[in-house]
Chain A
């Protein structure tokens, strides 16, 4: 089976639970927005203020940033860095690992502080880790739902005519 078999997908219920958890965090921490990105660079969700930048490019660079830092961690004898902080003059970013598969990016400005973001994030990370672990376990073991592309060979052929 191709690598595609390692694909994962989440339902609208998962999405609702993830969004709710992040909205609560944004409310408590006063951060501007939260983005969830998977380790391969795909954007999963955006919650809070809609970003003015290109979110697809942002997601790709986030994954690359995290991957590069993972390698740096290994070089100095750590297994990984489970969070990263990038400080700007007005806007800052805090990146945290979730269940080793997803990266949570928090964008915040001077209406809050790094300390508060980190403090409030702890329980959110725990909650998201639980949610995503369920999603991945379901994908790995449960009765696999038929791919939405099953039997779509003709449609695929037509797309490329």
Chain B
């Protein structure tokens, strides 16, 4: 739920980084914090345990520029990935404008990824939010690790595609972030499906972090246009 403040001429949007525990959500925010100029970002707030595991959330506000005289301010949140923190995870989703799902590419984390994705669907549904019509990006993190699963396997498990039932939208639509690939296309069985854009990342080195952030912010602003 974006907020347009005409008094301070700001558009405020909320982006939530979701995903399994130790997948790199906080690392994404830390990299953004380290790399953007201090006058375009606020404080990085971390409500974490003594062992630096996210307890409630991390929060970072960043300004991404001005459109029509309005400052575009994005509030980036992470959720705690650990399964038993679902109550706090759900609270953070309130009023979300765009979602980044940070998946851990390691083969042995596949089950945790799928479980976190299911949890995201469940929590969104409880709020009555429709994930299929919301800015939503997948980030496959830790691509540098030797035990990283192939992208096609990750795509098959985590990004199989939503069914497109609206006939007006049943046409091939290219992925704006990935030349030669499509977001909406017809599956072999004739059904039209829509996948969400994905990015590969090595968040500890900053690879893919800004690409992901830019993509989700752009989709959020376009959803308001």
Q: Which of A2, A10, A54, A150 contacts B6 (CB 8 A)?
A: A10
On chain B, the residues within 8 Å of A52 by CB distance are none
Q: Does B72 belong to the interface (CB within 8 Å)?
A: yes
Within 8 A of A (CB), among B28-65: 42-43, 45, 47, 56-57, 59, 61, 64-65
Asked if A153 and B225 sit within 8 Å, CB to CB, the answer is yes
Least CB distance, A97 to chain B, in whole angstroms: 14
Most B CB atoms within 10 A — which of A12, A45, A150, A152? A152
Q: Does A61 belong to the interface (CB within 8 Å)?
A: yes
Report A123-159 CB contacts with B as 1/0, cut-off 8 Å.
Answer: 0000000000000000000000001111111011101
Q: Does A116 belong to the interface (CB within 8 Å)?
A: no
Least CB distance, A94 to chain B, in whole angstroms: 22
- Give chain A's interface secondary structure class: mixed
Q: Does B133 belong to the interface (CB within 8 Å)?
A: yes
Within 8 A of B (CB), among A13-45: 15, 38-42, 44-45
Q: Report the nearest A residue to B215, measured CB to CB.
A: A160
On chain B, the residues within 8 Å of A10 by CB distance are 5-6
On chain B, the residues within 8 Å of A57 by CB distance are 42-43, 45, 59, 61
Q: Does B199 belong to the interface (CB within 8 Å)?
A: no
Q: Report the nearest A residue to B134, measured CB to CB.
A: A2
Least CB distance, A41 to chain B, in whole angstroms: 7
Q: Does B171 belong to the interface (CB within 8 Å)?
A: no
Asked if B56 and A40 sit within 8 Å, CB to CB, the answer is no
Measured as residues with beta carbon below 8 angstroms from the partner, the interface class of chain B is 35 or more
Measured as residues with beta carbon below 8 angstroms from the partner, the interface class of chain A is 35 or more
Least CB distance, B10 to chain A, in whole angstroms: 9
Asked if A56 and B61 sit within 8 Å, CB to CB, the answer is yes
Asked if A71 and B91 sit within 8 Å, CB to CB, the answer is yes
Asked if A6 and B64 sit within 8 Å, CB to CB, the answer is no
Report B59-95 CB contacts with A as 1/0, cut-off 8 Å.
Answer: 1010011011010100100000000000110011011
Asked if A60 and B59 sit within 8 Å, CB to CB, the answer is yes
Q: Report the nearest A residue to B224, measured CB to CB.
A: A149
Q: Beyond A11-B6, A41-B75: 5 further Cβ-contacts under 8 Å?
A: A9-B5, A12-B7, A57-B43, A64-B91, A156-B225
Cross-chain pairs A/B with CB under 8 angstroms, 18 sampled: A1-B133, A2-B97, A2-B135, A3-B95, A7-B3, A9-B4, A15-B6, A41-B59, A42-B14, A56-B42, A57-B59, A64-B91, A68-B88, A151-B225, A156-B67, A156-B218, A159-B65, A159-B221
